Amino acid sequence: ERVTLDLDRQRRCGFPEVIYGDGKPAQMIAAIIQSQQAAGQPSLATRVAPEVAEQVQTQIPTARYNPVARTLTAGVADAAPPSPIPKTQDAVSPDAGLIKHVAVVTAGSTDAPVAEEAIETLHWMGIRFRQFDDIGVAGPARLLAAVPHLRQAAAVVVIAGMEGALPAAVGGHLSVPVFAVPTSVGYGATLGGLTAMLGMLSSCASNVAVVNIDAGFKAAYLAGLVVRQLERST
Amino acid sequence: ERVTLDLDRQRRCGFPEVIYGDGKPAQMIAAIIQSQQAAGQPSLATRVAPEVAEQVQTQIPTARYNPVARTLTAGVADAAPPSPIPKTQDAVSPDAGLIKHVAVVTAGSTDAPVAEEAIETLHWMGIRFRQFDDIGVAGPARLLAAVPHLRQAAAVVVIAGMEGALPAAVGGHLSVPVFAVPTSVGYGATLGGLTAMLGMLSSCASNVAVVNIDAGFKAAYLAGLVVRQLERST
Amino acid sequence: ERVTLDLDRQRRCGFPEVIYGDGKPAQMIAAIIQSQQAAGQPSLATRVAPEVAEQVQTQIPTARYNPVARTLTAGVADAAPPSPIPKTQDAVSPDAGLIKHVAVVTAGSTDAPVAEEAIETLHWMGIRFRQFDDIGVAGPARLLAAVPHLRQAAAVVVIAGMEGALPAAVGGHLSVPVFAVPTSVGYGATLGGLTAMLGMLSSCASNVAVVNIDAGFKAAYLAGLVVRQLERST
Amino acid sequence: ERVTLDLDRQRRCGFPEVIYGDGKPAQMIAAIIQSQQAAGQPSLATRVAPEVAEQVQTQIPTARYNPVARTLTAGVADAAPPSPIPKTQDAVSPDAGLIKHVAVVTAGSTDAPVAEEAIETLHWMGIRFRQFDDIGVAGPARLLAAVPHLRQAAAVVVIAGMEGALPAAVGGHLSVPVFAVPTSVGYGATLGGLTAMLGMLSSCASNVAVVNIDAGFKAAYLAGLVVRQLERST
Amino acid sequence: ERVTLDLDRQRRCGFPEVIYGDGKPAQMIAAIIQSQQAAGQPSLATRVAPEVAEQVQTQIPTARYNPVARTLTAGVADAAPPSPIPKTQDAVSPDAGLIKHVAVVTAGSTDAPVAEEAIETLHWMGIRFRQFDDIGVAGPARLLAAVPHLRQAAAVVVIAGMEGALPAAVGGHLSVPVFAVPTSVGYGATLGGLTAMLGMLSSCASNVAVVNIDAGFKAAYLAGLVVRQLERST
Amino acid sequence: ERVTLDLDRQRRCGFPEVIYGDGKPAQMIAAIIQSQQAAGQPSLATRVAPEVAEQVQTQIPTARYNPVARTLTAGVADAAPPSPIPKTQDAVSPDAGLIKHVAVVTAGSTDAPVAEEAIETLHWMGIRFRQFDDIGVAGPARLLAAVPHLRQAAAVVVIAGMEGALPAAVGGHLSVPVFAVPTSVGYGATLGGLTAMLGMLSSCASNVAVVNIDAGFKAAYLAGLVVRQLERST
Amino acid sequence: ERVTLDLDRQRRCGFPEVIYGDGKPAQMIAAIIQSQQAAGQPSLATRVAPEVAEQVQTQIPTARYNPVARTLTAGVADAAPPSPIPKTQDAVSPDAGLIKHVAVVTAGSTDAPVAEEAIETLHWMGIRFRQFDDIGVAGPARLLAAVPHLRQAAAVVVIAGMEGALPAAVGGHLSVPVFAVPTSVGYGATLGGLTAMLGMLSSCASNVAVVNIDAGFKAAYLAGLVVRQLERST
Amino acid sequence: ERVTLDLDRQRRCGFPEVIYGDGKPAQMIAAIIQSQQAAGQPSLATRVAPEVAEQVQTQIPTARYNPVARTLTAGVADAAPPSPIPKTQDAVSPDAGLIKHVAVVTAGSTDAPVAEEAIETLHWMGIRFRQFDDIGVAGPARLLAAVPHLRQAAAVVVIAGMEGALPAAVGGHLSVPVFAVPTSVGYGATLGGLTAMLGMLSSCASNVAVVNIDAGFKAAYLAGLVVRQLERST
Ligand SMILES: Nc1ncnc2c1ncn2[C@@H]1O[C@H](COP(=O)(O)O)[C@@H](O)[C@H]1O
Ligand SMILES: Nc1ncnc2c1ncn2[C@@H]1O[C@H](COP(=O)(O)O)[C@@H](O)[C@H]1O
Ligand SMILES: Nc1ncnc2c1ncn2[C@@H]1O[C@H](COP(=O)(O)O)[C@@H](O)[C@H]1O
Ligand SMILES: Nc1ncnc2c1ncn2[C@@H]1O[C@H](COP(=O)(O)O)[C@@H](O)[C@H]1O
Ligand SMILES: [Mg+2]
Ligand SMILES: [Mg+2]
Ligand SMILES: [Mg+2]
Ligand SMILES: [Mg+2]
Ligand SMILES: [Mg+2]
Ligand SMILES: [Mg+2]
Ligand SMILES: [Mg+2]
Ligand SMILES: [Mg+2]
């Protein structure tokens, strides 16, 4: 009764309302998914604790839980877990028939949960992706090796904690929007991700936009919208 | 001598380096523009004070200064000042041959300088735009009237000070990326734009990405990249 | 012995002292309630943990605990749990014999505990109310549907987390005070409710006053005072 | 052209849009006032610099400027400057035919400009008021002397800088809403008014709501709405 | 071995080094106490968890633990727990043979742990005290009743959370130093005690000095030094 | 008219109200001084700009202005400017008939204005003092040389900017209260004095109390109260 | 698979990549150590929880865990735990054949875990060290006693919480770089180490550089680089 | 008289006290320089305004002012302005007889004043240097080109504003200490240099130490100490 679902969002925004799982009891999440299923809309719930997910799955057995991403999905077109475009499938020119996709990049291996949330979001949207993990700026060869692949993406999600320097370094090589996600990885002066967030907002690269700390969902959603619009226009 | 110009940026990023005018002496700005002209690249300098602009124009008479935006442009394809797509030219379906463009929206009339910087940036990129001014959330009819036009844009720049509520309200009506620019308009609890910036990052709308306070240039650049990629792919 | 109760507050302020339950041992809360009962004053304790409440109820069996609101009430005129004025009972003109009441509005379903605290406070004051849940700005039709009802309230409590945009959007439709409650719902840039709080203070709507984060009690108390004064003056 | 005036606000909110003067050129302010005059609406502009005011007055000679409040008013019902209800006119019982009014209280003599903005706002709304100046908590006799008068007001505006302790002290004596305005008076740890603002939000008094730093306009507007609703209901 | 004890402090400062218990293992605390006992110095340890205290007491059975204050004391002149000067023992003139003492005042009953730490510190110093509890500014009669007693103290410790208004209100009645302790009592805008701390530093009363949040020990130590110097000089 | 002077403060607090000069027009300051002179009370105004002081002196020719301290004094017992107790007059034992006095210590030569405000305050109170300038911790011999003198003072004011380390270093040598004044001297991470203020509050020395940034007046007032009480009790 | 190890770092930087253990599962840490061992590189993992360490040790039995430092080391040249240069081995002149080493200094005994992390880092680098514990500024004799030894070190690590005053006091005695580590020891105004960090950055001593809060690893690494370069150059 | 000069610092620290010019009158600066000249010590004053410098030069005509760095120097061994080691003089191996020196690197051309302060400091110390300007991370080829030269330096100063990403990128290529200077270049989320400062402290590179915002002097002093110790040890 406390819920006023926005079923019209799919018409207005292209995708249904996403369920913000944090603080919601399992029965509320299950009820929302059921309403969305009745309306023929795929469901994505973020920030769902494992024990809550389990309870939801009792009611909705088809719901899939990703314990790293802490996401629940149900009614998604491709029922399998998300899988990236292989890097062997590359094509040199970004215009030559390459699959339109999003690149998801992390600075450190500890940023993995945020990357998983991004990937689950793209999968729910039906958008293809590639992954580039642990390529932070202190080991410069790693980014340089990835650049030729990164230049084939239609939009890039860059996930980084600590000082958040990676989006600027990535952005300087590319001609597409970079959606930067600061993470809460680090201690002391990282201020729980605020330092990375402020750094990304202050970036000297022109093509870097920022979303909330740990908001893998949001950056992926925005990158997915860029790809979807490209797909529609061709 | 203190300058190491990045003339290769146009190749990597699609557009040349933009000159951050704040704190640079006029002769330095002029020298950079001349290097760019020699390389056949159009120039955009942001945050240029009127007296500095005047000095630069003595050396580069073709440079155009916009005193509201505080920008200098030179060598831009369309030498005239930027002019918006008229709203009478609308087409109901976003797919039916409409000119691909960016919508630039302000919440209050005091946000105008930031909107002007955005518009000059789009003009320098060769990207078309439309303007929607002073449509903040406290007067809701104003946004509702704009929605049908806004739904025709390929990307939207929303500029707002005070609590920065407008991007979420706009985003909830659209299926394209919204690039939100917090402004330093306001006093006290607005903290010089930080409150709006934090609010936009915390937005409950899924399609809102954020750039630095007063960074009309950055939001426009990102929105312009979205449009440019669409143009290329069709 | 550590307590100096202010039993005169009812005379000065119209209502007795409210017990701030956080950090108080059960026997202290029970003792205060007993003093208030001896003085014929109804009791409201906020921020009471379930296990503390249970202990208090052993001593004061008539005390009612609301586990969502985390409030204890005792000696309240209407002993039943609070129930809203039905929305079917509407009257078009706000002056035509409508019951004077407070509207309690939430932006998201996760804001429910704060709304419950507000409602328990109104009930303790003997003030009537209506509820409007989960009508955040990203789904604009939900607020528009509520506006005709909201215009019948004598004061409005708006509860919102994340960027806290809802009070400005609500305020722009109304001619009565809006008491805005920022909530600690959200993560990262929401700064535990500070962002919503600062945003509400910076609001471009003229009729928005703000109380502390998660302070459903305070906003309801203020709104209740407005209604009570109206009742007295007629 | 950059302005989208909300002339419907008077119908929705009871009073017209107020002009936020900071950063607006004189001709823009004058044009808005003219539009409001054409619609038969009284005008109030806040945060207007003296030199801007003078330019506006060249075009609109009937506009009155208050240099302490930095407000411009035009088309207001009572064309004279605001004058308080004399304190000799008191009546012991708040219900016995006393003029419904707002009390405007300052903690120190340096808070005067904010009080003046509040008073001009009440005058523009057609609401009566009383003034109590320089009665900060360090000299306790001053508040105690004012209490009997303060208890006759229907709503109270309390304006205080430094630690902002006055609203709690005032609130503890009253049964009506207190709208607290933190001011930027002070230095060092006052953080330009943030300390007072946070203190007022943390207030141990139940009936204190807070508005932005130095926002005399907002507190007065809210207090005025309380009085207006009382007047209408009797 | 990791400890370099400052046994000379008693000579320089009048009292021995106080043990900061937080984060120290029990054997380290016990070792320090033993060194101090060997040197004939009384011991005070603050911020000691109950389980750590128990372990220390196994080694030093004469050590007394106060679970509210979380202090351990050993070797103190007066081995009994601290007890206040009765209020019946008052003398109207502060100069007429009254026992030199410190008044310890709290704003709310939740501030008790900090007051207990202050009292244990005074007891360890051999300084007499009186207690005034729960006399916050929202119930003004409570402070006024205490003022005649407060005026007999040689120094005053005022402990308050939330907005921290009490020290200014107390200070305005007195001619001796007020040592203000902000507490971490409250939520939201209280920022864990920072708001009270900043408010106390911004105080409009001239005789208010401030110590760290929850630092009952420090305020009592400073007040105790004032009394001790008075005792020595007479 | 905007002023409600607290002439009773001398009786309650031992000294009259001090005039906070910042933001007060000259005629208001002059009027307050005249009221205090009529009541036989000495006047001290702090934070008075030179041009305001000059105007006040036109009306009150006996008022003395200290342009470094930015203070105005009038009606003070000792009409000459303040002069310190010479250091040659020392006595080894603090109890052997030494003049009771305050030591005023600065860390750097740039802290001089704050020291001057402290000294003028002591002079207005009729309290003797000694000065120790520019003895910051990076040059340790300077403090060690001053310690024997410092140990003769009844209370110490320590004024320091940057990291504010001096009060802890001074406090560790003394058995009397240290009133620490953080100053706004420094740049960047000093945050306009906040860093020194927070550091002083976090001090590992037990006898350090803190006042507002640059508040030489407050620290001197507190130290002066300690001396005055000693004088009275002997 | 989520790891992209930077094995080339030893060549570029002189030492291999250090494993940031926080948030990494045991198998990931073990896998990285194994890769480093295969490449003949010694391993250091910081911020490893005891239970994670135990799991890693099941796979890599030669790995040594320091539970105070929370570090894991493997493949280090000197397999024994680190041991300091004895202080009896001193030599008066810093140039006369003294072993090049780092001095590791703490202000309080609670700073031990950070000192241990520093020492393990030096040991992994093969750099010698000396320890000076618990010599904070409030007990000044302790630092003075250490100075002659400190003057023999080639670089100094100073670890301090609370107000972080020690690095400035140490730096003022030395002609080598001081690497200051703020710690999260303290409460209230220490802001979890931010106050010490800001204080150290604001230091009045010229030779103080700062690293992140609790980052014993970083300060030791920097000091170790200074020693290593000295060793190489001689 | 307000000055207590620390002439012993040269003996203890290797270099004399540096004059912090901000807020000091010209005659005070001149007097300090004269005392240092009498003691045979070279003088460096930082943060000296041009008009103050001019006055000092009237009294000390040999003093040299650098208007970009805002430094005054006098009595320095090499009386000519500082000049860098030419890059043509390179040697591939860092051990092969290269001049021991410091590399001074800037991210943008607007960081020049801070670089100049660093260079003047090195010159006053008698330390050689090289310059690398405007090589920020958004144009990656610029840093890669500089790396072979940077690897020849004994210590590196990296100066960067905005997000402060450059020190991490530089540090990842080097085996010597990097002293990072955040600058106040930028706007909005850069928070006057705090964002860069926090980012540098959070750096994922192991060899980055940080000094205060705009503190070119400090970073150069530290780097100079590293070089000086190397010179002494060979
Ligand atoms: N991880 C997330 N971060 C931010 N917003 C989210 C997240 N997941 C869902 N949302 C948004 O939260 C809104 C739902 O909020 P609620 O009504 O509280 O369930 C939807 O509009 C989503 O766009
Ligand atoms: N208004 C602006 N806001 C943020 N970045 C800018 C702006 N104008 C130019 N830039 C960026 O600043 C960089 C140039 O900085 P600099 O080397 O200091 O001239 C370029 O990479 C631009 O992308
Ligand atoms: N002093 C003030 N403080 C806060 N809001 C104000 C003030 N004056 C006017 N406003 C609001 O600002 C809005 C107009 O903003 P704008 O469109 O920028 O002119 C109106 O809705 C007013 O309610
Ligand atoms: N420099 C100062 N810093 C803080 N408080 C001050 C200062 N000078 C005067 N005051 C206090 O300010 C109060 C007067 O404020 P006001 O009523 O605004 O004039 C007096 O109670 C003084 O104790
Ligand atoms: Mg890694
Ligand atoms: Mg407007
Ligand atoms: Mg919802
Ligand atoms: Mg006053
Ligand atoms: Mg109470
Ligand atoms: Mg000095
Ligand atoms: Mg110790
Ligand atoms: Mg550049």
Instruction: Compute the average pLDDT of residues H188-204.
Output: 97
CB A187 within 8 Å of CB A196: no
- The predicted-structure confidence for F178-201, as pLDDT tens digits, reads as follows 999 999 999 999 999 999 999 999
Least confident of A89-103, A198-212, C70-84: A89-103
CB C11 within 8 Å of CB E141: no
Instruction: Compute the average pLDDT of residues F43-49.
Output: 98
Residues of E in contact with D205 (CB under 8 A): 137-138
| pLDDT of amino acid G87 | 83
| Residues of chain D numbered 31-90 and touching chain C (CB < 8 Å) | none
pLDDT band at F92 (very low <50, low <70, confident <90, very high): very low
Both tokens of F29, joined, read: 């300051």
Cα separation of the two ends of chain F: 43
Asked if pLDDT for residue E92 goes beyond 50, the answer is: no
Asked if pLDDT for residue A94 goes beyond 60, the answer is: no
* Mutate: best of D109, D111, D133, D194, partner F, most F CBs <10 A: D109
- The predicted-structure confidence for F13-43, as pLDDT tens digits, reads as follows 999 999 999 999 999 999 999 999 999 999 9
pLDDT band at D92 (very low <50, low <70, confident <90, very high): very low
User: Measured between CB atoms, does G128 come within 8 Å of chain A?
Assistant: no
Asked if pLDDT for residue F96 goes beyond 80, the answer is: no
Residue type for position C66: N
Using the beta-carbon criterion (under 8 Å), do B165 and C163 form an inter-chain contact? yes
The arrangement of strands across the sheet holding A178-182 comes to: A128-132, A101-106, A155-160, A178-182, A208-210, B208-210, B178-182, B155-160, B101-106, B128-132
Residues of D in contact with C13 (CB under 8 A): 171-175, 206-207
CA distance E42 to D45: 68
CA distance E91 to chain D (A): 24
Asked if pLDDT for residue B148 goes beyond 80, the answer is: yes
Question: Which residue out of C105, C110, C111 has the highest number of ligand 1 atoms within 8 Å of its CB and is therefore the one to mutate?
Answer: C110
* Mutate: best of H10, H150, H174, H201, partner G, most G CBs <10 A: H201
Written as tens digits, the pLDDT of chain G (234 aa) is 689 999 999 999 999 999 999 999 999 999 999 999 999 999 999 999 999 999 999 999 999 999 999 999 999 999 999 999 998 765 545 555 689 999 999 999 999 999 999 999 999 999 999 999 999 998 889 999 999 999 999 999 999 999 999 999 999 999 999 999 999 999 999 999 999 999 999 999 999 999 999 999 999 999 999 999 999 987
- The predicted-structure confidence for B173-208, as pLDDT tens digits, reads as follows 999 999 999 999 999 999 999 999 999 999 999 999
CA distance F165 to F179: 13
CB H171 within 8 Å of CB A138: yes
User: Measured between CB atoms, does F232 come within 8 Å of chain D?
Assistant: no
CA distance H216 to H179: 10
Asked if pLDDT for residue F97 goes beyond 70, the answer is: no
Q: Is the CB of A130 under 6 A from ligand 1?
A: no
A184 to chain H: closest CA residue: H202
CA distance E96 to chain G (A): 38
**The CA-based dihedral angle spanning residues F183, F186, F188, F189, taken in that order and rounded to the nearest 10 degrees:** -50
Instruction: Compute the average pLDDT of residues B209-232.
Output: 98
CA distance A214 to A137: 19
Q: Which atom of ligand 4 is nearest to the CA of D134?
A: 17
* Mutate: best of G150, G175, G213, G217, partner H, most H CBs <10 A: G175
Using the beta-carbon criterion (under 8 Å), do C226 and D229 form an inter-chain contact? yes
- The predicted-structure confidence for H58-80, as pLDDT tens digits, reads as follows 999 999 999 999 999 999 999 99
Range list of H helices, chain F? 9-13, 26-38, 50-59, 112-125, 140-150, 166-171, 194-201, 216-233
Give me the phi and psi of D204, to 5 degrees please.
Answer: -80, -5
Both tokens of H198, joined, read: 């926090």
CB C177 within 8 Å of CB D157: no
pLDDT band at F233 (very low <50, low <70, confident <90, very high): confident
Can you tell me the ipTM of this complex? Answer: 0.96
CB-CB: which of G9, G23, G47 is closest to A139? Answer: G9
Instruction: Compute the average pLDDT of residues F198-224.
Output: 97
pLDDT band at A87 (very low <50, low <70, confident <90, very high): confident
Q: Is the CB of B110 under 6 A from ligand 3?
A: yes
CA-angle at A26, arms to A24 and A31, nearest 5°:
95
The rounded Cα A208 to chain-centroid distance in angstroms is 16
Using the beta-carbon criterion (under 8 Å), do C163 and B188 form an inter-chain contact? no
Residue type for position B99: I
Compute chain E's Rg from CA coordinates: 18
Write the DSSP symbol of residue F187: -
Asked if pLDDT for residue C157 goes beyond 80, the answer is: yes
Using the beta-carbon criterion (under 8 Å), do E162 and D204 form an inter-chain contact? yes
* Residue with CA nearest ligand 1 atom 6: A20
Paired strand residues for D48:
none
Q: Is the CB of A18 under 6 A from ligand 1?
A: yes
The rounded Cα C51 to chain-centroid distance in angstroms is 23
Asked if pLDDT for residue B89 goes beyond 70, the answer is: no
Give ligand 4 pocket residues (Cβ under 6 A): D 108-110, 134, 136, 138; E 204, 206; F 17-20, 46-47, 215, 217-218
The rounded Cα E168 to chain-centroid distance in angstroms is 19
A69 three-state secondary structure: coil
Q: From the CB coordinates, do chains C and G have 3 or more pairs under 8 Å?
A: no
| pLDDT of amino acid E98 | 80
Both tokens of D41, joined, read: 């609406």
**Confidence (pTM):** 0.96
Range list of H helices, chain H? 9-13, 26-38, 50-59, 112-125, 140-150, 166-171, 194-201, 216-233
CA distance B93 to B89: 12
| pLDDT of amino acid C2 | 85
Q: Is the CB of B140 under 6 A from ligand 3?
A: no
Count how many pairs of residues, chain B against chain C, have C-beta atoms within 8 Å.
Answer: 118
Residue type for position E106: T
CA distance G129 to G148: 15
Q: From the CB coordinates, do chains F and D have 3 or more pairs under 8 Å?
A: yes
CB H150 within 8 Å of CB H173: yes
Nearest residue to A22 (alpha-carbon basis) of B20, F88, C110: C110
Secondary structure percentages of chain F, helix, strand, coil, to 5 = 40, 15, 40
Continuous segment of H or E residues that includes residue G83: none
Count how many pairs of residues, chain A against chain H, have C-beta atoms within 8 Å.
Answer: 117
The CA-atom distances, in angstroms, between C52 and each of C24, C38, E77, F103 are 9, 22, 39, 52
Ion ligand 12: residue ranges with CB closer than 5 A: H 108, 134
* Residue with CA nearest ligand 2 atom 7: B20
* Residue with CA nearest ligand 3 atom 22: D18
Nearest residue to D66 (alpha-carbon basis) of D28, D27, D8, D114: D114
Say how many residues make up chain G. Answer: 234
CB B91 within 8 Å of CB B193: no
Q: Is the CB of A205 under 6 A from ligand 1?
A: no
Residues of C in contact with E185 (CB under 8 A): 22-23
On average, the pLDDT of chain H sits at 94
Touching subunits for chain A (3+ Cβ pairs under 8 A): B, C, G, H
Paired strand residues for D179:
D157, D209
* Residue with CA nearest ligand 1 atom 9: A20
* Residue with CA nearest ligand 2 atom 2: B20
On average, the pLDDT of chain B sits at 94
CA distance F134 to H6: 10
* Residue with CA nearest ligand 4 atom 4: E204
Asked if pLDDT for residue F91 goes beyond 90, the answer is: no
Q: Is the CB of B138 under 6 A from ligand 3?
A: yes
Asked if pLDDT for residue B139 goes beyond 70, the answer is: yes
Asked if pLDDT for residue C95 goes beyond 80, the answer is: no
Asked if pLDDT for residue D95 goes beyond 90, the answer is: no
CA distance F67 to F80: 15
Residues of A in contact with C110 (CB under 8 A): 20, 22-24
Using the beta-carbon criterion (under 8 Å), do B173 and C140 form an inter-chain contact? yes
Continuous segment of H or E residues that includes residue F157: strand F155-160
CA distance F33 to chain H (A): 32
CB-CB: which of C13, C18, C234 is closest to D234? Answer: C234
CB C19 within 8 Å of CB C45: yes
Asked if pLDDT for residue D61 goes beyond 90, the answer is: yes
The CA-atom distances, in angstroms, between A175 and each of A211, B13, B229, D112, H36 are 19, 4, 9, 55, 57
